[in-house]
Amino acid sequence: MASETVLLIEDDPAIVSGLELNLSLEGYRVLSAADGETGFQVACEESPDMVLLDIMLPGANGLEVLRRLRARSPETPVLILSARGEEADKVLGLQLGADDYISKPFSLSELLARINAALRRQRLQTSESTQALYRIGDATIDVVRRLVTRGDREIAMTAREFELLTYFLQHPGVALSRERLLDAVWQTDYLTQRTIDNFVGRLRAKLEPDPEQPQHFLTVRGVGYRFEQ
């Protein structure tokens, strides 16, 4: 049975009631908050293993809460729940650090599968890493501790950024298609290939000496990307 804590920040009582019941049946400890300010406060106090976050909230909206969550806890998986189904909203949420996105109305079984998959990836990456430490230039990546440092400075990474980085590190010199990266890291085909481009851009900004002329995260035209140390 699952033992992780899931924080639901959602103002629709019907959705909250249904998810609290079903997540509890899955074995999760469930916390909930009906507005952005309360949700952020609960996240700070309880350090949940995952956050389900609505965009349209009273007070601070979901995107503002997401910014603040990422500044405080970049490694915690965040899945956005929203009635907004437009691609622009999905891209904005991902750019701000969300790890996944599902539009309302959603399938309960699909949502549970995504939650389970996100938390399972974290557990597996912690317990089954074949190598603990990697280096990219002057940066050190500790896979077990999920920590990226350059000198004495920690480089903040979202959970999904770290998962993508780890996949690149474990497949050096291999031309990886965008489809393969989506399947391996997101385990879904509902996102567009632009998602990969956005996340690779973020890794370049954080780890490349010159993001405009990358040395490590290289574009393979017509295919995707290749990581070189």
Q: Per residue of the chain (229 residues), what is the pLDDT tens digit?
A: 457 899 999 999 999 999 999 999 989 999 999 999 999 999 999 989 999 999 888 888 888 999 899 888 877 889 998 876 666 777 788 878 888 888 888 889 999 988 988 887 766 655 554 567 899 989 999 988 889 999 889 999 998 899 999 999 988 888 999 888 888 888 765 677 888 999 999 999 999 999 999 999 999 998 899 999 8
Whether 13 and 120 share a structural domain: yes
Contact 80, 39 (CB under 8 A): no
Instruction: Output the pLDDT for position 159.
Output: 87
Whether 120 and 15 share a structural domain: yes
Domain end call among 76, 109, 125: 125
- How many domains are there within the chain? 2
Q: Show the CA angle centred on residue 12, arms to residues 7 and 15, nearest 5°.
A: 65
Which H or E run contains 7?
A: strand 5-9
Whether 115 and 181 share a structural domain: no
Domain end call among 125, 160, 190: 125
User: What does DSSP say about strands 78-82 and 100-103: parallel, antiparallel, or unpaired?
Assistant: parallel
Q: What is the dihedral of CA 207, 210, 212, 216, to 10 degrees?
A: -50
Which H or E run contains 86?
A: none
Whether 149 and 50 share a structural domain: no
Whether 95 and 163 share a structural domain: no
Query: What does pTM read for this prediction?
Result: 0.62
Q: What is the dihedral of CA 229, 133, 76, 177, to 10 degrees?
A: 30
The tokens for 221 are: 């035209």
Whether 118 and 136 share a structural domain: no
User: What does DSSP say about strands 139-142 and 133-136: parallel, antiparallel, or unpaired?
Assistant: antiparallel
Instruction: Output the pLDDT for position 1.
Output: 43
Domain of residue 163 covers: 129-227
Is it true that the peptide bond before 209 is cis, omega within 30 degrees of 0?
no
Whether 51 and 111 share a structural domain: yes
